[in-house]
Amino acid sequence: MKKDEEITTLYNLILNPNTRDWEREQLIKAKEELATSGSLKEVLDRLEVSFRPLALRQNLTPDVMDFYLRMVGDPLGEAQYDFAQHEITDATVQERAVFAGGCFWCMVEPFETQEGIISVLSGYTGGDVTQPNYDQVSGGYTGHVEAVEIIFDTRKISYQDLVEIYWQVTDPTDEFGQFQDRGVQYRPIIFVQNEEQRKIAEASRQALSESGRYAKPIVTSILPAQPFWPAENYHQQFYRKQPKRYKKIKQTRHQLAVMQKLTKVWRKPKN
């Protein structure tokens, strides 16, 4: 990349409100060096070294992490989600559905791989702050939960079908998180778009409660849809961009779900 283009990238990250203060200090230093007489390669090499410890722990803010991946030549840094594709183009046959069920990294693939799904977007909803960022939500400071917003074709898949998938990939008895994801930002909630969705979700929840599949009460909330804020590019379609890491997270989630079911069977009183 040319020096002028790199300076523009650094400038945008410096102005990005989601960039942490320490990250911004490193970016400003690099930008100033490039603006004078610094070698592009040498400046970026020093910046990479300063970011590396946090990058290896996946602890850079999302946009800076994307930039870091591009610096080290990782193709993940070039993977850009097309946010413009996530829209309803025909309201007569398309609807939205919003589900919160733990980390949104694990909530995309179960829905996106179904026939009739047009788009799945990771994001934040249910809180009090406009345009929240990942640091704010993951810290539990805004009241938001991590969630997915789904646009689907009602001719190919129904809202009832989506709710049933939701029950299969979440623990509806845990109101303090989901599996290994703990905190208010991971609580299970179905956000309904209209009265029809509310009736379907409530009837499905009641049927699940009466099914005897769980010894504990069903605590998943059903709430009216609230503003949905897209998560940063780094978090979109995580299962596609980082399949190995996603597989490990998914396996852990599955193992905890199996253990929990065994515990529930063991605790269930005998007739």
Which pLDDT does position 81 carry in this prediction? 92
Lowest mean pLDDT among 71-85, 109-123, 151-165: 71-85
Residue, of 100 and 254, whose pLDDT is higher: 100
pLDDT for residue 245 is more than 80:
no
pLDDT band at 2 (very low <50, low <70, confident <90, very high): confident
pLDDT for residue 222 is more than 90:
yes
Which pLDDT does position 23 carry in this prediction? 97
Which pLDDT does position 179 carry in this prediction? 82
Position 90, amino acid: D
CA distance 56 to 167: 34
Lowest mean pLDDT among 50-54, 231-235, 257-261: 257-261
Backbone dihedral angles phi then psi of residue 104, each to the nearest 5 degrees: -70, -15
Q: What is the 3-state secondary structure (H, E, C) of the chain?
A: CCHHHHHHHHHHHHHCCCCCHHHHHHHHHHHHHHHHCCCHHHHHHHHHHHHHHHHHCCCCCHHHHHHHHHHCCCHHHHCCCCHHHCCCCCCCCEEEEEEECCCHHHCCHHHHCCCCEEEEEEEEECCCCCCCCHHHHHCCCCCCEEEEEEEEECCCCCHHHHHHHHHHHCCCCCCCEECCEECHHHCCEEEECCHHHHHHHHHHHHHHHHCCCCCCCCCCEEEECCCEEECCHHHCCHHHHCHHHHHHHHHHHHHHHHHHHHHHHHHCCCC
* Known active-site residue 106: no
Q: What domains sit in the chain, N to C, each tagged with a CATH number?
A: 3-78 (no CATH), 84-254 (3.30.1060.10)
pTM metric for this prediction: 0.86
Backbone dihedral angles phi then psi of residue 19, each to the nearest 5 degrees: -70, 130
Averaged pLDDT for residues 45-71: 95
Residue, of 58 and 204, whose pLDDT is higher: 204
pLDDT for residue 138 is more than 70:
yes
Which pLDDT does position 165 carry in this prediction? 97
CA distance 144 to 136: 9
Share of the chain above pLDDT 70, in %: 93
Catalytic-role residue among 98, 103, 121, 147: 103
Which pLDDT does position 266 carry in this prediction? 40
pLDDT for residue 122 is more than 80:
yes
pLDDT mean across residues, the chain: 90
pLDDT for residue 59 is more than 60:
yes
pLDDT for residue 258 is more than 70:
no
pLDDT for residue 262 is more than 60:
no
